[in-house]
Structure 1
């Protein structure tokens, strides 16, 4: 009889389950022992190795580009291309992007199970697209033109490719480009100031994140080509909202550093209170509805908001030893609480 390959953690979970059912008289001892014998330790985690290998490959690619510009010989070589027109680089990176997308699409069709290598090619294509659009901005002279249109162009390109290639990774680039376009467009209409309609960047992106999350929940499933990316949009929308709200709880709706540094944190406590309430509500909703994404994001930002308030109000008011002692004790209680929930489940 073929045995079930499981990791060490999975074996422990399954054996705990079998022991529990045996204690509750739902399973006799012989059958429990037979099922345990059917478990076999999984060999080397090749999937994990593949994921890390591709991450290391991408990191190495980035470091190689950095090294390219730090190496004297290569720097001299690049200087020979200094006078090369930007249009050449624009077309060159566009060609590379097309090549990577074609390879990724073909590889995905032939080997759909090779998710890591396929997504790596898509990621390389996305970076090449960004570089091509960046050089296009140099060609159009961004100092004289309303260059935010380039970010809008990148959204259209990424959006089309993500739907055509069914790539969630490229859809993430689409939503990131959407956020960059939103930031630059509002900045453009406020003469490149930090406030737009009386809102600084954190407040703007809090609203932006809420709108994106609402779109993912209520509208995206009604648009057939975008249904596949609904969960991705939901996660990115929540992250936009919670990160922006956390920053808003620290800086308030201020755009001037001198004005912000002259106030006391309790004067903007309501933003922190809103952040704590929203993150706690999100965590409770996630636990009640079995939505792990909402639960995890809500819990992480609930803890982050609590400890941010802790640092803001106590860092300058109590002894450092006591400060870190309280911090250690509080984290110990959080760990104990999480451990009890984990054991109960």
Structure 2
């Protein structure tokens, strides 16, 4: 019976990943069958993701550091990129004799990393670095987005959003002469402004008629929520006028309190949105960063004013209390 359940669940996973059935139908059908205690799909996915990133980094390091000629570097990167992309695309086709879609996606991710290095190498050869590296990074970001959407590859979308965040910070820094402010906004505040728009992009994906994987929507949500919370966390520690690169700057305590409360208010709103629209990712991020906010304030106000043994005992009791409360809430829902 377990073997039959496994076969059916594998087919359901395949249909859902290829957008043949909707999420609600997938969840309803999958709930009728028992999964194994080990989620091999998750293990396979993360093994391939880590492997793809390591291979990409290793190949780039090997080629750029051991081959002295820029011509051979570009040739090697281009050839490897083409091979990885070609076989990655072939492995995702059902009519190919070897159908391994997850491995194919991993090879496409490797090709994307190689494209990144190849574009920078071509820039250094043709334009002799006249085109600033921040502009090249923007171009690489656009290439990532194109590859991600053409192949519906979530890992490449992660590369694209990561590159977009770096490009945003680097480009605004370059335009402002690498000052701490751009249009009157500090580095963390820039991401506070832009992060909700990233999450909004994820929502807009659900309102289109195009066949967009659910994983894309969740990725946009994750990046938007993560950068928003990290930016507010930094602001609650160094303040608006603090120097991001010089920790320990003395700030107005009222300013820090304001950003701490703003951070908490943002996570409460995120939690309410998550519960209202049944988005677990919103709820999880909100709870996680509300707890982190609490811990940060605890360290801020009591680290120097309390015996360290008592400090950790109280911190441990707070943690256990939070865990017990959440477990009780979970059991009530079950």
Looking at structure 2, the residues matched to 328 and 337 of structure 1 have their Cα atoms a distance apart, in angstroms, of 14
Structure 1 position 150 matched with structure 2 position 144: no
Q: Which residue of 2 aligns with 1:26?
A: none
Using the TM superposition, give the Cα deviation of residue 105 of structure 1 relative to its aligned residue in structure 2, in angstroms: 1.6
Q: Are the equivalent residues in 2 in contact too, given 1:4–1:40 (CA < 8 A)? A: no
Cα distance in 2 for residues equivalent to 1:44 and 1:224 = 34
Equivalent residues of 1:265, 1:313 under 8 A apart: no
**Structure 2 residue 105 is matched with structure 1 residue 119:** yes
Contact kept? 2:273, 2:282, Cα under 8 Å: yes
Distance 1:240 1:137, change over 3 A: farther
- The equivalent residue for 2:117 is 131
2:92 is aligned, of 80, 95, 108, to 108
Q: Flag the 1:56–1:238 CA change in 2: closer, same or farther, 3 A.
A: closer
C-alpha distance in 1 between matches for 2:263 and 2:321: 22
Q: CA deviation at 1:200?
A: 2.0
**Equivalenced residues, count:** 302
Alignment of 1:1-345 (within 5 A): 5=5, 42=36, 46-51=40-45, 53-55=47-49, 57-58=51-52, 61=55, 78=66, 81-82=67-68, 84-85=69-70, 87-110=71-94, 114-139=100-125, 140-142=127-129, 144-218=130-204, 221-222=207-208, 224=210, 229-253=216-240, 254-255=242-243, 261-263=249-251, 265-345=253-333
CA distance in structure 2 between the partners assigned to 1:215 and 1:39 by the alignment:
34
- The gaps in structure 2 that reach 5 residues or longer are 7-31
* Distance in structure 1 (CA, Å) of the matches to 2:60 and 2:74: 20
**CA 1:39–1:291 in 2, change beyond 3 Å: closer, same or farther?**
closer
What is the DSSP-based 3-state SS (H/G/I as helix, E as strand, rest coil) of the residue aligned with 1:261?
coil
Q: Which deviates further from its counterpart, 108-117 or 196-205?
A: 108-117
* TM value normalised by structure 2: 0.77
Structure 1: gaps of 5 or more residues: 7-37, 70-74
* Rg larger for: 1
TM-score, structure 1 as length reference: 0.75
